[in-house]
């Protein structure tokens, strides 16, 4: 992938060319790269954040959304190619955690890529744990209700029909991608440490499901639980999350 093509996928809100470590961040279903703008500012200049922008939203809304995790991981891994000349870690929230895992698998199989430092999996059960979910098959009202119930958007924001038309196609594609994903049988475990971050009141992942990430790496796994945190615990706890990342990548 050329640098120009890579730039379609990667947002560098606080460029730090001299940073010793880079952190690629993958958004949740329906999310966009801007979700990580505050975290980028908190980690800069010690760590440069590369926020991934999936097709089908915001400045990429004219592109068709990708409806499977493999396709998203393929595109993101290729886009990170120009940035693998120095140590790289991956951070993903919710759906983004699974994409980060799949990107880690792809980079591990690429002899030209630098070894990964760490994988941070936030707000998501282990990839091997399948749960039957059908949110992507709901009508628009049902899809909006699901988003609002998780705190992914302000109540009433998507009452506007024009805004719905702009936002929901990408949201539905993301839900279809994550709900139809199945971890390939016989997948070899990673060799990098995994830190799992989860709220203790997350309706979509239990602490036990979070701990199951240990089956996906030969290295150490640690789980940090945020008391009182829901699915989007990350928003009110960004400073604490930033410190977790900074401390491990040092």
51 forms beta bridges with 11, 25
Residue spans of beta strands (DSSP E) within 17-134: 21-26, 47-52, 88-93, 116-122
Angle at 31 between CA 155 and CA 132, to 5 degrees: 85
Among the listed residues 171, 187, 155, 157, the one whose alpha carbon sits nearest the alpha carbon of residue 57: 171
Is residue 7 classed as helix, strand or coil in its secondary structure?
helix
Look-up: residue for tokens 């393929």?
74
Q: Which two tokens stand for residue 98?
A: 């699974």
Which residues are marked as active site?
94
Contact call for residues 6 and 81 (beta carbons, < 8 A) = yes
CA–CA separation, 45 and 15 (whole Å): 8
């Amino acid at each position: 992938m050329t640098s120009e093509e890579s730039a379609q996928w990667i947002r560098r809100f606080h460029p730090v060319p001299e940073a010793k470590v880079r952190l690629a961040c993958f958004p949740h279903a329906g999310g966009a790269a801007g979700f990580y703008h505050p975290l980028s500012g908190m980690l800069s200049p010690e760590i440069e954040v590369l926020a991934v922008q999936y097709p089908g939203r915001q400045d990429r809304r004219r592109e068709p959304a990708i409806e499977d995790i493999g396709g998203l991981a393929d595109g993101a891994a290729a886009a990170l190619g120009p940035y693998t000349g120095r140590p790289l870690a991956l951070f993903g929230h919710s759906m983004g955690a699974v994409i980060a895992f799949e990107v880690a698998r792809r980079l591990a199989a690429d002899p030209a890529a630098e070894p990964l430092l760490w994988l941070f999996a936030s707000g998501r059960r282990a990839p091997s744990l399948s749960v039957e979910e059908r949110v992507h098959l709901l009508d628009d009202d049902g899809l909006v209700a699901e988003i609002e119930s998780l705190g992914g958007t302000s109540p009433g924001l998507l009452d506007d029909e024009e805004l719905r038309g702009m936002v929901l196609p990408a949201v539905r594609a993301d839900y279809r991608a994550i709900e139809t994903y199945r971890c390939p049988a016989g997948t070899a475990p990673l060799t990098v440490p995994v830190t799992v971050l989860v709220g203790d009141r997350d309706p979509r992942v239990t602490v036990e499901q979070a701990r199951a990430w240990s089956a996906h790496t030969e290295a150490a796994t640690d789980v940090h639980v945020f008391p009182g945190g829901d699915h989007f615990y990350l928003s009110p706890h960004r400073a604490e999350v930033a410190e977790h990342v900074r401390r491990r990548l040092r």
